[in-house]
Structure 1
Amino acid sequence: MEVLNDSTKLGIGDHVSFRIVEDRHEPIRLFVTDSGEMEVPLIGRVMARGKTCKQLAYEIKPLFEKEYFKTATVIIGLDLVSTKPLGNIFITGQVRSGGVMVLMPGDAVTVSQAILRAGGVGDFADKRKIRLVRKKEGVPVTTAEALQIMQPKKQSVISKIFSRKKAAPNDSTVTYLVDLVDILENGHLERDPELKVGDLIYVPERLINY
């Protein structure tokens, strides 16, 4: 199991070969569903998206050893990588090259990484109040909603990691405040949220006092 792939993260639509050495059966093919899960024989659904074959194998190993095997050597190999795009994320505001970014299977892109891909922030960006707007239940942000974000209301920070605006009962989006300085300059990478399909990043302009 130590030699299993530990560099490529699994994504939706990927196919893998799966076997347990002690079971002595031929490998079977499994795939990552749209929910990011994989249906493992005897065990059921396990989350696979964003994990390497090695990580997944070591997570599954104790589940088999709990009920079915004294020792389970789990072998998982990546057979086929899906090339179908998962969807888009949107970047706007004070970035050098905003627009649409395509998320591909296996991508694990954070807010700071997406901004860097967009050429970085502009000279007048407020790097401490970047807004990540996310639809509830993963529904993409509409164009109309994206335009509303350009002039967001004042929000208060309620979390050490990144703050969330409390949604109204009929509000379909949740907004997070992300501090890029804290992430890139202070090294708090755990405060850099991973993006999902339909997310919108807005980098506001900082206020300049004369």
Structure 2
Amino acid sequence: MLSLNFSSFLLEVGTDEAGRGCIAGPVTAAAVILPAHFENSILNDSKQLTEKAREKLRPIIEEQAVSFAVTHLEPIIIDEINILNASIKAMQESILKLNPKPEYIIVDGNRFKPVLDIPYSCIIKGDAKFMCIAAASVLAKTYRDEYMNKIHEEFPMYNWKQNKGYPTQEHREAIRKYGVTKYHRMSFRLLPEQLKLDI
């Protein structure tokens, strides 16, 4: 069972990202403040949930949250500032969109940078420990999947609807055959060494 709160603050926000290990598409972060008496028996780290469960949870989180926000950061920014900084920036931007302003931040993972003057804690595997981080992981994942399904229509040959931009063998074969798009992260190793791409 996940815990509702880490701190004693009432307006505690959880934040998490999705798509960090992808070679195409944005890194997407979400931030969620849940009400004091929030309860949900199926909420968990989004990686532990089926797609169907995530889709079922998304409207529940959106309706019941005190506040939530989602941010996509495009490959051009990822390539410019690197994926770790882009992940942190996406989480920070999501937190800045919240109203009311949170009093405390809990972050999934071990790296973060301050937002305004709000105190924070980094929690390893926080998405499997605290409800507001798990809720953020569900929103980040569902919003990012939706984005990848949309850009799949533009470039169906990469099958982003299925692989969501992760470096599957099929995705890499398509890069080798068709080259790269504006949605690919040029700072990432898009192909294994033996399949160098001339760009």
TM-score (structure 2 length as normaliser):
0.28
Greater strand share, 1 or 2?
1
Greater helix share, 1 or 2?
2
* Bigger CA radius of gyration: 1
TM-score (structure 1 length as normaliser):
0.27
